[in-house]
Amino acid sequence: MTDCLFCKIVAKEVRAEVVLETERALAFRDINPQAPTHVLVIPKAHHADAAALAEADDGLADDVLKAAHAVAVQEGVAEGGYRIVFNTGPAAGQTVFHVHAHVLGGRDLTWPPG
Please tell me the distance from the alpha carbon of residue 41 to that of residue 100, in angstroms, as a whole number. Answer: 5
The interface region with ligand AMP, picked from 29-37, 45-53, 74-82, 104-112 by CB under 6 A, is 29-37
Output b/e per residue, 47-57; b: 16+ Cβ within 10 A: bbbbeebeeee
How far, in Å, are 4, 22, 105 from residue 87 at the CA level? 17, 22, 17
* Interacting residue with ligand AMP among 52, 84, 96, 109 (CB under 6 A): 96
Which partner from the list ligand AMP, Zn ion, none does 42 bind, CB cut-off 5 to 8 Å by kind? none
Nearest distance in Å: CB 114, Zn ion: 26
Q: Per the residue annotation, which of 47, 69, 98, 100 is the catalytic one?
A: 100
Binding site for ligand AMP (CB under 6 A): 5, 14, 16, 30-32, 40, 87, 93-96
